[in-house]
Amino acid sequence: MRPRDEYAEPYRIKVVEPLRQRTREEREELITQAGYNLFSLRAEDVYIDLLTDSGTSAMSDNQWAGIMLGDESYAGSKSFYHLEESVREIMGFRHVVPTHQGRAAEHILMTMLVKPSDRVLGNMHFDTTEGHILLKRATPVNLVIEEGYEPSILHPFKGNIDLFRLEEELDTYGPEKIPFVLITVTCNNNGGQPVSMANIRAVREIASRYGVPVFFDAARFAENAFFIKEREPGYADKPVAEIVREMFSYGDGCTMSSKKDGLVNIGGLLAFNSEGYYRQAVQWGIVYEGFATYGGQAGRDLEALSRGLREVVDEYYLENRIGQVDYLARRLLDLGIPIIEPPGGHGVYLDARRFLPHIPQEHFPAQTLAAELYIEGGIRGVELGTNAFAHRDEKTGEIAYPRLELVRLAIPRRVYTDRHMDQVARALAGIARRKDSLHGLRMVYEAPVLRHFTSRFERL
């Protein structure tokens, strides 16, 4: 990756969407009305929206042209065949089944292969994946290496699977109880951390010895491949496109939310090498999603995705993308603001525990920081801490707090410039100056499940 000041964005801007920043007084009022929960804000009241990198990408002129050329035929759409060609060329999988989102692809994969009391192994299953595994009354097992849980340990591949634990699981439970291993690239839940090629290859080799297939959650596959090129010995001179094909060559297929590295605003897919898996997926796809050649998407969406998959492996695009995340991370580190290091592929994760050490977990330090970031700069991130992950024991009423109190600043692809990143840094510097006056929040409403989307707070 070249230093950030040696190049500019590898695109120019053809369409713009105006942004307005509410005044500080308005923001104070709006966040109070929203119960200090950023999900309850209207998007137009947000100045820089870093809630998610999912479905928020800016499409290229070539993708927009594809929208006009989308073939809306129910069966055998030309756009489906374009997508199939892209998946074959870019990912190397023979068969593709479109779905309306990533979680729908997970639903189909789990319905095909997971039985009650199975164990589904992975580095760290994403929340929706975990949900679908639990719905099959199976157990999600996270085997990420120990370094993956440590915010300040500098390890180049914090998404790697602990191979010793993998082998132990396979040895204890065997292929009767383990339907497959799922490698999530990059590993979202610990900061968008990459998985190395050596680790992927070793997982494949070990799983094969036990006759267990390997799948990918490919939401951010191109970002993972770029990190391999940057950080793994032997890959510096290999084109990212080749690295992507090698990664997927160790898998039997994948699920994918195309709202991330598909560079589109909606959609997902399943892809396989084997005809057997493909037939099974189509069978369930038809029931839940739609016919095999559209799967809950419009033809134009398939067309845009077929083009996005080709654009996302462009190395100038990836250098600029990952370079922007890195740029924000460096600015924050220079200001002494604690973040997960090294930064991952799709965002910067603030460590609220170290930033606001005087606020105990019961007073929601990460939620406090997220709300203050809105007040200070009109910036919206997402809390990944006590609000999202604390568990209350049904019997004792005791609360188990999560290990990490994070605020994720996810960066949409091709949307904001470094000057927007500078505003994020400026807002955090402003909070740092007055942080001792913050006292945390008290929860005044919570829903029985997935409370963080609708919970409400008051300032302490």
Look at the alpha carbons of 336, 338, 341, 345 in this order and tell me if their dihedral is positive or negative.
negative
My answer on whether omega of the bond before 186 falls inside 30° of 0, hence cis, is yes
- CA 342-345-347 angle, to 5 degrees, is 85
Nearer CB in complex with ligand P70: 331/452 = 452
Closest contact distance (angstroms) between CB of 319 and ligand P70 is 22
The question of whether 217 is a catalytic residue gets the answer yes
Instruction: Tell me, yes or no, if 93 is annotated catalytic.
Output: no
Active site residue 74: yes
Query: Given the complex with ligand P70, which of 55 and 156 has the nearer CB atom?
Result: 55
| Cα Dmax for the chain | 62
First to last CA, the chain: 45
Binding site for ligand P70 (CB under 6 A): 51-52, 54, 101-103, 126, 128-129, 184, 188, 217, 219, 257, 259, 268, 382, 410
Asked if 302 and 80 touch (Cβ cutoff 8 Å), the reply is yes
**Would you say 240 or 384 has its CB closer to ligand P70?**
384
Q: How far is the CB of 178 from ligand P70 (least distance, A)?
A: 20
Q: 203-220: string of b/e by CB count within 10 Å (b at 16+)? A: bbebbeebebbbbbbbbb
Residue with token string 């929601």: 364
Q: Which residue is nearest to ligand P70 (CB)?
A: 102
* Catalytic residue from among 104, 301, 452, 457: 452
> Residue 391 catalytic?
no
260 is catalytic: yes
- Minimum gap (Å) between residue 456 Cβ and ligand P70: 18
Catalytic residue among 138, 219, 370, 410: 219
Nearer to ligand P70 by Cβ, of 11 and 288: the residue is 288
Helix, strand, coil shares of the chain, percent, nearest 5, are 45, 15, 40
Looking at 36, 126, 173, 250, which residue is catalytic?
126
Q: How far apart are CA 132 and CA 110, in angstroms?
A: 7
**Identified catalytic residue from 74, 164, 445, 453:** 74
Please, which residues bridge with residue 257 across strands? 268
Residue 387 burial (CB < 10 Å; 0-12/13-18/19+)? buried
In angstroms, the Cα distances linking 438 to 203, 341, 355, 432 are 46, 25, 11, 10
Residue 44 or 393: the one with the smaller Cβ distance to ligand P70 is 44
Q: How far is the CB of 107 from ligand P70 (least distance, A)?
A: 9
> Is residue 127 among the annotated active site residues?
yes
State the nearest-atom distance from the C-beta of 110 to ligand P70, in Å.
12
Q: Name the minimum Å distance from CB 98 to ligand P70.
A: 12
Active-site residue, from 127, 171, 334, 422: 127
**Cβ 93 vs Cβ 105: under 8 Å:** no
Q: Which CB atom, from 8 or from 450, has the smaller least distance to ligand P70?
A: 450
Q: Sign of the C-alpha dihedral, residues 153, 159, 165, 167? A: negative
- Of 312 and 438, nearer to ligand P70 (C-beta) is 312
In the bound complex, what is the minimum distance in angstroms from residue 114's beta carbon to ligand P70?
A: 16
The one-character DSSP state at 100 is: S
Q: Please identify which of the residues 95, 132, 229, 260 carries the catalytic annotation.
A: 260
Tokens in use for 293? 């050649």
14: annotated active-site residue = no
Catalytic annotation, residues: 74, 126-127, 217, 219, 260, 452
